[in-house]
Chain A
Amino acid sequence: MATLVLPPDWPGGFWAHWGVFVVIIFVFLMAMVVGFIWFERRAMAIMQARLGPNRTGPFGLLQPVADALKVLLKEDIIPAKGDKLVHWLAPVVAFIPLLMLFAVVPFQGGAILADLNIGILYIVAVSSVTTVGIFMAGWASNNKYSLLGAMRQVASVVSYEIPVVLSIIGVVLLTGSLSMQQIVMAQDIPFILLQPLGFLLFFIGALAEINRAPFDLMEADSEIVAGFHTEYSGMKFALFYLVEYGEALAISAIVTTLFLSGWRGPVLPPWLWFLVKVVIVFFVIVWVRTTVPRVRIDQLMALAWKFLFPLALLNLLITAVEILVWPTVSLWLLVLVNIAIMVILVLLWSRLFKLGWGRVEV
């Protein structure tokens, strides 16, 4: 097991540690979001047989900066019949939990703001708060498209949160701890191999959680214009934009920590490993976005309840039994068994469950 590097002993102790990491997290979030926006647009452009932004700065690297400047200068519009206070509060409520998420993300050995002993539970709890912000935005805008988008978000959050949490429990069982650092330390074999089914379920659920294609129903541009942020402009819109990419960053970081052995890896320094893995996960998210069409709201719910949920329960059961029955068996054997189980279960379930279609009788 790799040795855990303890947090550096800053002069000033707790408060210095706290202060330094708040700055690190904020800079990390902003820099990565700017980078991600550029990265997504360029990667998507290459996949779509076009060039993407390449005029602003070298390789168009300054495009997000130019976008941010433009958005800053825009007029801030509040709908005449909107709820002004809630309209103002919504982006804040959506943004703050996002920043809070990074408190428990380990960047490398000792680099973590707070190694909470309930780390992953904290993440699950805090990340759901963003939904409240989105619903506030949809309600306060006094716009039917916004309301539709917000209602979709609330309806689907109930559906996908459960399989997401259940698939995390598999990881927690293997680790025996909820602490993010302990989860990283326990991954001599990355959990993506030990928990392949759990990873699949978590990743699908996470895509829904961060409103990414194919589950971007809340802001489905071809259906409900821009969903909950239809009536937002200026800096408030920029905050929602930031939330969108920040959530993608957060999910990439969480997937990296839970399933890809976090900052651990040979040769390269740990923080670089962490960054590389985060970018790879984000690339997969972008890849999915350019590839598949969007599902319908009832199909998303059906997927969550009829596909993800039972499989997550089964995954939990199987993991628990494995830990109980074979506590000493070679992990590599377990890897093979678990991959086989995943293939069988997914194939079996996809025969039982199809992304259903049905006409609703009126």
Chain B
Amino acid sequence: MVIKTEPFVVNIGPAHPSTHGVFRMRTTLDGEVVVDMEPVFGYLHRGVEKLAEERTYTGVIPLTDRLDYLASMSNNLAYCLAVEKLGGIPVPERAEYLRVIMAELQRIASHLIAVGAFLNDCGAFMTPILYMLREREKILDLFEMASGQRLTYNYMRVGGVSQDVPEEFVPALGKFVKVMPRWIDEYDQLLKENEILLARAKGVGILPKELAINISASGPVLRASGVKWDIRKADPYSVYERFEFDIPTGSVGDCYDRYRVRIEEMRQSVCILKQALEQLPQGEVRSDVPHLIRPPVGEAYGHIEAPRGELGFYLVSDNSIAPYRFHVRAPSLINLTALREMMVGWKVADAIIIFGSIDINMAEVDR
């Protein structure tokens, strides 16, 4: 007897425990197997790009905090770099180092959430993410010391940073840098070679090298596919050319590689932090910038290696106090474009971890 079956449509999201915000996947399932997937987003659209055109250059910085709220510092940095490029504004050396320190701390904090959430999606019930939140808390304490905030820091300014760090910051950071490698080892001990995780994540959701390049993926997603591309090396900004560090890459481009690349990147970030702490000079933290910046007519694109990939801000100036055009190249959105190719043919459970392994932030996707 042949039983007649037919595929059925399941809306995963926008309100679902594992869609990391308000993403919606309109999946067509054949039993457990995903035969088609249509991503739907825009639920969190706030019109940030248009809002920014009504604000002064400094007034836009708080808006960038709210793009990728798990990596506010990186967003601040990328935007400030773009404005500095546009106006030709110099940055004091100490400010450059502080920026690098903040960006790398932010990368660790963001990857902790990414890896923890990914393992949570795999079904490791809350344990890894809670261990990781414990260290993220320490990073947030450091950020609080520097900026007074724990989520939307609004710390960097055009031409430097808003204020110098307090004197207890450097010893606290030194302590953090010393203990963090041990904690990363602990994360490895949790699940690195767990048979179930290997079975679940290895070979699942492969993003081939060519496809990754074609969709212009960036960040850990691209590097897991085996492409050694990191803006910090490829187009060094700030003072990154003064630091020694590796670019960890994966080989296959599956979920497991993406997970490993993020863990290794945390180690490299600690390495950068160590060097930055040794070299940290004294001096001014902000150059003399007028309150209302009027960059000359022109355009500029400032990009950095944010935790999720290449984060770029494209600015057009008409010599007024507000940007004429403000565009964000959001890595989350662009990494998401290959989702269908990665997901079709896998089971529902895999679809969830493939989505989780890309590590997106809906506030950045929708803007």
List the interface of chain A (C-beta within 8 A of B).
44, 47-50, 144-145, 148, 151-152, 213-214, 216-217, 220-225, 289-299, 354-357, 359-362
Contacts and interface: CB of A to CB of B under 8 A. Distances in A.
| A-B pairs with lowest CB-CB distance, top 3 | A294-B123, A355-B199, A293-B122
For A44, A299, A356, A360, the residue with the greatest tally of chain B CB atoms inside 10 Å of its CB is A360
Contacts of A360: 33, 345-347
A221 B191 CA distance: 20
For B32, B345, B350, the residue with the greatest tally of chain A CB atoms inside 10 Å of its CB is B32
A362 B33 contact: yes
23 contacts: A48-B131, A49-B130, A145-B10, A148-B29, A148-B32, A151-B31, A213-B125, A214-B196, A222-B120, A222-B352, A290-B126, A292-B124, A293-B196, A294-B124, A297-B347, A354-B199, A355-B195, A355-B196, A355-B199, A357-B199, A357-B202, A357-B204, A359-B346
B194 interface: yes
Contacts of A220: 123, 349
B8 A223 contact: no
A220 B121 CA distance: 10
Contact of B125 (A50, A290, A355, A359): A290
A145 B199 CA distance: 24
B121 A222 contact: yes
B127 interface: yes
Given A222-B17, A222-B18, A144 B8 contact: yes
A48 B126 CA distance: 8
B147 to A, nearest CB: 26
A118 to B, nearest CB: 35
B184 to A, nearest CB: 16
B16 interface: yes
Given A220-B123, A222-B18, A362 B32 contact: no
Interface size class of B (residues with CB under 8 A): 35 or more
A104 B316 CA distance: 79
B30 interface: yes
Contacts of A48: 126-127, 130-131
A356 B202 CA distance: 10
Interface in B148-206: 191, 194-200, 202-204
B349 A297 contact: yes
B349 A296 contact: yes
A208 to B, nearest CB: 13
Nearest to B204: A357
B344 interface: yes
B89 interface: no
A362 B127 contact: no
Contacts of A223: 18, 123, 348-349, 352
Nearest to B198: A355
Contact of B196 (A49, A289, A290, A292): A292
B348 to A, nearest CB: 6
Contacts of A357: 199-200, 202-204
Contacts of A216: 123
B249 to A, nearest CB: 22
B76 to A, nearest CB: 30
Contacts of B123: 213-214, 216, 220, 222-223, 293-294
Interface in B261-304: none
Contacts of A297: 32, 347, 349
Nearest to A45: B130
B105 interface: no
A48 B190 CA distance: 11
Contacts of B198: 355
A295 B346 contact: no
A102 B346 CA distance: 41
Nearest to B131: A49
A220 B16 CA distance: 12
Given A49-B134, A355-B196, A355-B199, A148 B348 contact: yes
Interface string B346-361: 1111101000000000
Contact of B348 (A49, A214, A224, A361): A224
A215 B128 CA distance: 18
B194 A293 contact: yes
Contacts of B31: 151
A355 B119 CA distance: 18
Contact of A296 (B10, B125, B200): B200
Nearest to B199: A355
B16 A293 contact: no
B113 interface: no
Contacts of B32: 148, 152, 297-298
A362 B344 contact: yes
B109 to A, nearest CB: 17
Nearest to B134: A49
B35 interface: yes
A123 B195 CA distance: 32
Contacts of A290: 125-127
Contacts of A44: 125-126
B360 to A, nearest CB: 16
B2 to A, nearest CB: 19
Contacts of B345: 359-362
A214 B18 CA distance: 18
A140 B211 CA distance: 43
A362 B122 contact: no
Contacts of A292: 124, 194, 196
B8 A225 contact: no
For B30, B33, B131, B348, the residue with the greatest tally of chain A CB atoms inside 10 Å of its CB is B348
A187 B127 CA distance: 37
Given A214-B196, A293-B194, A294-B124, 18 more contacts: A44-B126, A144-B8, A144-B10, A213-B125, A220-B123, A222-B120, A222-B123, A225-B16, A292-B194, A294-B349, A295-B199, A296-B199, A296-B200, A296-B347, A357-B200, A357-B202, A357-B204, A361-B345
Contact of A225 (B17, B30, B203): B17
